[in-house]
Each structure stands twice: as C-alpha cells, then as structure tokens.
Amino acid sequence: MKKNENSEFPLVEISGNHYEMGYDLGKQISNLICEYLDWIRFKTKETKIESQKRSMSFYNLIKDYSSNYIEEITGISEGANIPFEDAMLCQVRFGNTNNNNDGCTAFGYKEQSTLSSNLYIGQNQDMESEFLKFGYILKINPSISIPKIIMFTFPGQIGYAGLNEYGISNFANALYNYKPQTGLPHYILKRKILEQKTLKDCKKILDNINLSEAGNVLISDSNEYIDYEFYNKERYSYKTDNQNFVIHTNHYLTEELMKFEDGTLPDSPIRLKRMIELTKNIYGSITIDSVKTMLADHDNYPASICRHGADNMDSISGYIADPKNKTFHVRKGFGCEMNWKSYKFN
C-alpha cells in the first residue's frame, strides 16, 4: 500500500427516512459504488448474474429482519441508477465465498484503564490494500426515530464500524475455519447495533441473531462493553481475567469455540500478546494518543499490529471511539502514518 496522498477519508452526509437516505447515498457516490461492484466481481471471479444471484440469496433474510433496510437498499439502487441486486451485493460483499481476508486488532478500555476515566474502544482495520480507495466516513442524520450515526464504511454498505449519538459503538474481528450458513451478513448486524440506544438492547440483538459467517463483535456504551464470538448459530460472551480491558484479534478465545481454531492467521496470537503487553505497560494512564501509538506498533513486522502486507493485508484504517465525548477518531492508512481525524455530532 502506497503512502497516502490524501490524509483523510471522504465525508458523505445523508438525511431523511430510510429510502431517502439510501437515495441520497446512491446519488452522491454512484461512480464509487459502480467501481466497488466491479472490484467485488473481479475478486470473486463471478459474472454479474452469478454475483446478483448470490446477493439475492440474502434478500428474504434481510427483509424479514428489517423491511426498513430493504427500503434503504432500494433507495441506493435508484439513487445510483444500478440494479437492486447490485445494491444488495454492497451489503453482502464476499459473503458465502472464500474471499474473506480480514485481520484486525480490537480493544476496549474501561474507565479504570484510562487517564481521563473515559471508556475508549476501537480497532485497527487490516484488509487488502485495495479497500483503502473505497473507504469513506458516513454521517447519518435521520428524520425518523433512529439515532444519528457516524461510521466508517464502504460504497453502498449500510453498516460497518462506528458510533451513534447515544454513545453506542461497534467494532469487529474476522474469525476463520467455519462453513457459511443461512444467516444475515455481518454488516446488517453492525447497522442494527448502531441504531440502538442502550447496551442492554444491543445484547438482546446479539442473543437472537443468526449470522452467515463466524466473527467477533465488540460493542460499548460510554461505561461498559460486551464482546461476543459467533460461530454458525453459536455465540458466546468473551470475558478476560482483567475485566477493565479487553483485546481481541483473529482467533477464537472463548473456551467453547477454541476447538475450531486452526491457526489461519498465525500472527493473531502474537498481536494479541503484544497489544496486551503494551496495554499493561501504561494501564491506568491510557490516553487517545497512547492508543494511537499502540496501533502503530511494529513488533513482529510486517505481521504487526500496524500491518504491512503480511498475508496480503495492510492496516488500511484505524478507529477510536470516545463514547462519553461522542467523538469518533478515524485514521486513514497505516498506523505509523498517524493520519487521524476526529468526527463529532452536529
């Protein structure tokens, strides 16, 4: 991945009801959406018809879960002047294929861990370098009864990593060695979480949703976080020995799911150990700036926390949510480049 010429991601703002927000988004970034769709099909080696068939295999699941999301996806298709099936593909991406290649280092720090006594939560986003050109910041200002949201996401995709006006934040890690099953794409869950007002409501969603792929989700309000690992229809809460901070990378950590770990990403335990070590070194005095420094760490380079090409992945972005101050810090590119920008609610 080349050094960034532009130091921040584009900002897109949308407003209205679900359909209007979708239409607004589709119209504003139609060219980027079309380029993204071409790239997805290039990676999966699918024809247009094959990719559309795959995306529509999720249609009834999404519709039954939330018809509002179907309205929003319809708006995207009409705003961008693309087939509805392609707007669906933006929500599915590589779902039910063998193209998922994500590595991430996620963290949660409760008030006892930090100098300010504020909770911080976030992650480094490790993906194929091509994803860098597709990322952007989406500000959602709804006219309906869902919260305002600031998130990082990809073209036409209605859910990813972010923070809402009530301080609910959402981050995640890929997990491996699973067989795709009938269930919702992760990105639908991520959007649903960001529409909640309390952590209790988020937990209810996690306890009752089936996902198509394995993964770890890390969610917080301004005082507490919860961490869940998913494997097919199983889901288990992950708790650490020190209940005041949590680190998660890309291998199973719950006792119930460890049996499925096959070492797909051999550096994952190394990154976990290193992030815990860095955390313990400054425990009780962690700041936003010190988290940025940890996310730039090069121990075990190139398969480091700040990842440089190992397993064809780079740290394309990083996120730190400060729910108490309703602030979402986002970095474009490698951690060591320190291209951070802060976003707040209007």
Average pLDDT over residues 128-138: 97
pLDDT band at 4 (very low <50, low <70, confident <90, very high): low
Whether 156 contacts 127, CB under 8 Å: no
Who wins on pLDDT, 97 or 228? 228
Each residue of 16-64: pLDDT tens digit? 999 999 999 999 999 999 999 999 999 999 999 999 999 999 999 999 9
Task: Collect all residues with Cβ–Cβ distance below 8 Å to 22 and sequence separation of at least 6.
Answer: 71, 72, 73, 74, 75, 76, 77, 78, 79, 87, 158
Average pLDDT over residues 108-124: 98
Residue 92 phi, psi (nearest 5): -100, -40
Average pLDDT over residues 203-218: 95
Whether 128 contacts 93, CB under 8 Å: no
Q: How many CA atoms lie within 13 A of 316 on its CB side?
A: 21
Whether 104 contacts 123, CB under 8 Å: yes
Third-level CATH fold of 103-344: Penicillin V Acylase; Chain A (3.60.60)
Whether 298 contacts 336, CB under 8 Å: yes
Average pLDDT over residues 246-250: 98
pLDDT band at 320 (very low <50, low <70, confident <90, very high): very high
Structure tokens at 70: 């179907």
Helix (H, G, I), strand (E, B) or coil at 319: strand
Determine which helix (DSSP H) or strand (DSSP E) holds 13, and give its type and residue range.
Answer: strand 11-16
* Pairing, β 136-142 against β 11-16: parallel
The mean of the pLDDT values for the chain is 95
Task: Collect all residues with Cβ–Cβ distance below 8 Å to 77 and sequence separation of at least 6.
Answer: 22, 26, 83, 84, 86, 87
Cα dist. 331→50, 122, 210, 293 in Å?
Answer: 35, 11, 31, 12
Helix (H, G, I), strand (E, B) or coil at 280: helix
Q: Which residue, chain included where needed, has tokens 């139609």? A: 30
Average pLDDT over residues 254-268: 95
User: Which pTM value belongs to this model?
Assistant: 0.96
Q: Return the closest-CA partner of residue 249 out of 274, 232, 224, 231.
A: 274
The three-point CA angle 313-318-319 to 5° equals 145
Average pLDDT over residues 155-183: 95
Report the amino acid identity of residue 14: I
pLDDT at residue 2, as a whole number: 61
pLDDT at residue 5, as a whole number: 60
DSSP label at residue 184: B
Q: Return the closest-CA partner of residue 113 out of 288, 297, 338.
A: 288
Whether 230 contacts 212, CB under 8 Å: no
Q: Where are the domains of the chain?
A: 11-92, 103-344
Each residue of 90-107: pLDDT tens digit? 999 988 776 677 889 999
pLDDT at residue 339, as a whole number: 94
